[in-house]
Amino acid sequence: MSLSALLGGMIIMGVSMPGHSYRGALPPLSPAQAELQSRLHRHIETLAGTIGERNLHRYSALQAAARYITEVFEELGYQPVAHPYHVRRYRVQNIEAVKPGSPETDEIIVIGAHYDSVRGSPGANDNASGVAALLELARLLRAQPVAREVRFVAFVNEEPPTSIATPWAVCTMPGKRQPRANASRRCCPSLFRHRQLIAPSTRPVHNHLAMTPS
């Protein structure tokens, strides 16, 4: 076998997807799916349409997005908590809502999405769609019993140039897992004042799902 044929085969294997693509007309949505579609669309339209571009260059819009997310969490029966910090002269916040789990385990599942958008973009797909999914997962799980505590977190400042300033990260330590700031002290000293922002003490984070386009 020639080298070019071998390389071609490796490339095909590397980019090919398993299974088969769906063909044909999609089945009609169920009433529950139609409601979900409407709610997702409303969240995206509010964040990307009504509010639009939201970042430190449009600080009032960024704050409007934070208020909207907080209000939706409250409407769903949660008690959202803002975790504020400062970037330059601006006060920003991550927003957290908690679904308690069984007392038999102290593991935590974190579901997160960032609500800021890159400069010059309304951020419908990056990342109003992720926030919409976050809010609807919170709605769908609100009445469901869960074994592990679930923390729904809307993050600010994922987009550059301020992405380094988001004071939350999960790192794995030898023998345990705990939240810890994961950036340089020189870049953002406030990171190290929020080391237990999401999971206090050494409670293990079981999973961390971040919803943002790849």
**Does some domain include residue 121?**
yes
CA–CA separation, 85 and 166 (whole Å): 9
**SS percent in the chain: helix, strand, coil, step 5:** 35, 20, 40
**Does some domain include residue 22?**
no
**Does some domain include residue 145?**
yes
Write the pLDDT tens digit of every residue in 1-46.
566 666 666 666 666 667 788 889 989 999 999 999 999 999 999 9
Distances (CA, A) of 152 to 28, 100, 128, 149, 214: 30, 11, 15, 10, 20
Write the pLDDT tens digit of every residue in 160-189.
776 654 555 443 333 333 443 333 333 333
Task: Domain count for the chain, please give it.
Answer: 1
Distances (CA, A) of 91 to 55, 165, 167: 12, 12, 13
Write the pLDDT tens digit of every residue in 74-125.
999 999 999 999 988 999 999 999 999 988 888 899 999 999 999 999 999 9
CATH of the domain at 205: 3.40.630.10
Name the H helices within the chain: 3-15, 31-44, 59-75, 129-141
**Does some domain include residue 163?**
yes
Domain of 98 in residue numbering reads as 30-210
**Does some domain include residue 23?**
no
**Does some domain include residue 9?**
no
pTM: 0.72
**Does some domain include residue 4?**
no
**Does some domain include residue 13?**
no
Write the pLDDT tens digit of every residue in 35-71.
999 999 999 999 999 999 999 999 999 999 999 999 9
Residue 20: the pLDDT is: 80
Residue 191: the pLDDT is: 31
